A and B are shown apart, each in its own frame.
Chain A
């Protein structure tokens, strides 16, 4: 069985798994409600009086902080808890294809939740004439960022068989990664660390790269940033699952 076919088989099983239980529907409803609440209530979508979705996308990093770990926490922790990990890893599929298949299923699921925010896009187009290029870029950026959160969560989930621990630890790590470019963090390091390190830390920030994309410019460096981050954490997931088989 080829790598692609194995990945695809795992992907399909995982993806339909989301919709076999109420989990998917509950998640999507909460996702959409919180997106709407933050955009309209806290983001002042109408008060701004501008035909743009900045107030919508601006909250994505913060909402993902809690919503994405809720998807990723079960990825491996549940396999281990139910013992199906032993089944999965003794089927003739390679570990990387299992890790990738599971990740892609979660990412596709997050993508569907994100796509279902399209009434937001309809609304802003009805009210005015926004720059749809910027909106499209922002959606792509948001999905890439969701992928990075998921890859981190996948690795943490592989390290524990307790989903609550997986959730909490993922939130913390994602939080640190997100605010890495924030003044508070940088000030802390600036006091004693050389500039190179400070710059490196700030360049790791999700916020900086996501904000750059939401300006409407999809710079390939931002894509590479999220892409390599995803690859790195998925590799770490492979190592973690392998190390914690027993």
Chain B
């Protein structure tokens, strides 16, 4: 029984979330220009300052060029062929879940995110975003009792304009990069979180992003503010139907932590990845950044990236406050023809700031998976410390893994430590597990979860279990 090439024959598990919800949508015409931006803004009844924010961003975007430094290859995106606003048709003003189209509730039910009171998750508040709009946010009233604001960003723009004006774009200015500028010009919805001073958010908060329409992009915007000595754990999930065209997703997430505040932001990204031939799938160009403004503040990113045809994403921390802490824990899995270029930036500005980076890349099939990270120690960051660990695992002999660590230090009194490793699941390891009665695919998934353990330990419990399941599902048939 010779198995010459254990790792040929790549068959992916059918994507479980690939269904399309048949619902009438209100879409604007394709393309992007000033009128479109005015139209989006007026549809959302936005105040003047926000329209100006958008128009300024658009002006900047027009002068910018799409970045090409990442280790990614894809056909040029035609930005005039994208619909920038798509919303399911429903009543103008929804006051309770009863008024939400049952089809939408059903969609989120099917995705495992029930929203209705009888069925909703008891320990997590959810903001459900469908294409360009937020459908519902659960537990709003209960959270309000603690002073916590959790709502769609569109609502926040109307009801909490002081906070929006102060913080929107304060971490990621519109001119930051090409995709952030595009998002700033056309962002449609997303989540807003405000945790007041001394409050520990009584439950996990989460957003669930669903792309339903094939020809419209999704440009969500999330803003989380944690006031002094407050803390919050936030989860983000994403899925999309299977289309043979590529859909653009360009999100911006900004986090702000004041003195002694802590924000934990966890993502399980499972956008449609395209088929085995690399047709279709989401182009995921995301800018995520947190600013530790306060002393001893802490921002922790954890991500499990399994979907998307292309992932371009570097959740970062700007460590301003003395003794502030930044963390990045990442598992990125690519299969078939997926491409991922992901990592982080840790910008140490304040003294005694600390950062930890743990990145685990798993490449199967013919995919390519790169870690790209920057650790920068500024001249005032006396006593700053960083520890980075980047491990890659190759499954099969057609996948690629790269590591691009950049280190810049202007402060001699600082410590930067970097460790990297690459391993391959060996035939002998698999045989060892099999010779103890463990099925081949289970053996692979045991080894993959073992490889990711350091990161999974950082995820909230339900998320960790889901991530583990998701990885084995994604890898099913990738070896063998």
Q: Do A and B come from one complex?
A: no
